[in-house]
Structure 1
């Protein structure tokens, strides 16, 4: 049986996910979207203690459970302090370059439920004022958020209800081009989440079942290293679905499915990786096998957490990871196709 995920469904859901702020630690709203999608498709969902989702897909046979994991949490920041002149100092959530968020629009999410907009700037933002504007180091202590409210002092900001520890999300600015490219922040890893839901939608619409029970793990702390550090005890195989990196000494393109043979946590399972490569060939999917030495995944977290599993890593190719990212529809849909083939085999 040839499985064909619904591209329109996948891309529509991806846009909805991208437009929903979800920095690590502030993911309740996007997890509600995950719950609604699972309910709409008729798949049972349960929560782990950290607020991550576990969605079950019944298989034809018991005795083996395969996990497919992707994460909805993204890079972001928190309010470190409020300055005397009414701006916000930040602390990073996740690993990114400061220059990648300079001049970016953002939202400040207060614990009282209010949302304010702002812009992330260098503390020396103007060439007409600062002689060192081009050489001024872009580091946390030199960056600040200009709030779009009439504030001139720390007291003005505090009166808005903004406080230390409030979350700051970066505007995704998602655009889908006529040529099929998807450019946005946070494709890492919302593109993979959309691909997993494409698999679920296909299973429901085309009435197919995987060979064994499957659990979809939608994690919410991957960007800070412990997203899938706990997984259910019945899982024996796990595929982390996360973006494929593109750049120097790498083969992956934005139209490819990336199959990672090794990352910073070490080599992935030989047999699982080989099987994914063979299936990509059989399906005639554009793919690339690469090594990512500065990379970790939900599978890495599960292995380091002591899980007794075999693990592999695949995902759509994404350019400029942890900055203004870009992938292509083809890579996202083909990731869904490859995973469906794997769990059907």
Structure 2
């Protein structure tokens, strides 16, 4: 695909870049931001002219609807730099489409492609030096939209702000990840907003995750809200299970996010002749597989972490350790996927887009 061009945009550059003050070898994920950000407001039923301005706080009315009724959505993307200093995106059209699906579900206006993708292209051209070469170096991209209209009446806002901010990043997770299978709390429910990347989905996870952390687990594998018998997501990621030599993952639904990395893992696995089943995976099935030795791997898949192997899980007070494998499918797929992202392997799928 070719990114739309944003012809009308106001650009106000910083007088001096802060890039030389950043230690790119020791980055805390999502803590350092580039020199500029994109801003575009929705007023009087129409999107206004976008602007690229220095990254900085901005004023907002205390009665803005985002504070009172939670109209806020976001996406997560990455930019990569190849060995020839070209900057690439990975399946940005998928993020764009999902962003507007989230907007529709949250009664927010859709963002035009020229603003979302064209604006992102222009912003990356301005801050391209923040994309560092070398596998493992990325520029994390956070497009988001909030309701800025004022007033505390319980109704959708009439005004919104769309923004894109950029953050240099390395690995999202480090160390071994042990998970707790949810027995009471749920990430989402049928008829709710679980399939939208709405801010409220993530804040609702914080408390049960805090409880899991206190027990020595890094994340939770969420189960369905009605019966807590179906395995759905791991933390903020889609989740895969390898039983014998088959990968299993839950189908997307009103409760499960349609992850871009998830889609890519499935397509890559099929290309490599790895059996994949997209179906409901039961807790009892996982426990039985752990007991009889057929459970080989569990891993999360998402933009930030790409692939995150899980070393064990706990359910009903019993901990199940997974085997340590030399031929882990998770690591094989991660290697092949990141090689495509960094242009170290042929992109036979047409997923990468040059800036």
**What TM-score do the two structures reach when normalised by structure 1?**
0.25
**What TM-score do the two structures reach when normalised by structure 2?**
0.25
